[in-house]
Amino acid sequence: MATSGKQHTRLGEQAWNKMSKVNAEFFALTYGAMVMQLVQDFEDTAAVNAQLDTMGYNIGVRLIDEFLAKSGTGACADLRDTAETIAKVAFKMFLGVVAEVANWNADGTAFSVVLYDNPLIEFVELPPQHCELLYSNVLCGVIRGALEMVQMKVECRFARDVLRGDDLNEIRVELKEVLAEQMDDQYFEGM
């Protein structure tokens, strides 16, 4: 496992080095402005959290193409491989930070992505009236959307959040179902 972990880290570094990049402060401020807009639009914090998740999902289903095209990773062998790829390659390639995989459940169908350094929250403090806000919930949506495009239905939620007083950010990912590979007739004709 250790060697494969290293390999993921290396792939992540390589992908990151190839990318065209932008100042993370600007990105964090833009994200913050968008979240503030949502907070103004919806009265209910739960609705804001859901909207952030939906927006993340929409991003995820598009982002997976970029990831598959430019990350240099192949198909994942199993869920452990997938988890390492998300944490070490995808987070590095897009946000420039490496996450860790932790807390596998006994039957190996759920894991946590632990993010020590979250570029989204650089300037953020949650005011008391918004303490239920899952500020970075967009990340859950992105993971869910991206994995759905590679036939994995997962549930994602923020289990721990630095903004809510936890010592680190933890996104819990639970595999619900592996969707059957759907092939169109045209693929068979070509074979």
Partner 1 sequence: MASAAAAAQSAAGAAGAPGKRLVNDVCVDMLLLEASSYLLGRRGKPGEAEDLEAENFRELHHSAIARLESLGWDVGCRLTERLCQTKLLSGEPLEAVKFICKDFWTEVFRKQIDKLQTDHRGTFVLRELNFKWLAKYAPDKSRTDRNLAWFTLQFACGLVRGAMATLNQPATVKADFWDEKTDRSLLPAVSFTIRLKQA
Residues forming contacts to partner 1 in the complex (CB under 8 A) are 16, 19-27, 29-31, 33-34, 36-37, 41, 51, 55, 58-59, 62-63, 66, 93-96, 119, 122-123
Q: Which residue has the tokens 């993971």?
A: 143
Smallest distance from partner 1 to CB 148, Å:
16
Q: Which two tokens stand for residue 67?
A: 């990831």
Q: In this complex, which beta carbon is closest to partner 1, that of residue 92 or of residue 110?
A: 92
Residue 29 contacts by C-beta under 8 Å, 6 or more apart in sequence? 123
Rank residues 62 and 130 by Cβ distance to partner 1 and give the closer one. Answer: 62
- Given a contact cutoff of 8 angstroms between Cβ atoms, the answer to whether 63 and 86 are in contact is no
Residue among 24 and 76 whose Cβ is closer to partner 1: 24
Distant-in-sequence contacts of 153-158, Cβ < 8 A, 24+ apart: 153/177, 153/178, 153/179, 156/53, 158/134
CA distance 109 to 175: 5
Tell me whether residue 66 or residue 132 sits nearer to partner 1 (CB atom): 66
Pick 62 or 176: Cβ nearer partner 1: 62
Q: How far is the CB of 191 from partner 1 (least distance, A)?
A: 33
CB of 64 to partner 1, least distance (A): 12
Min separation Cβ 35 and partner 1, Å? 10
The edge-to-edge listing of strands for the beta sheet with 169-178 is 100-102, 110-115, 169-178, 152-160
Distance in Å, CB of 141 to partner 1, minimum: 10
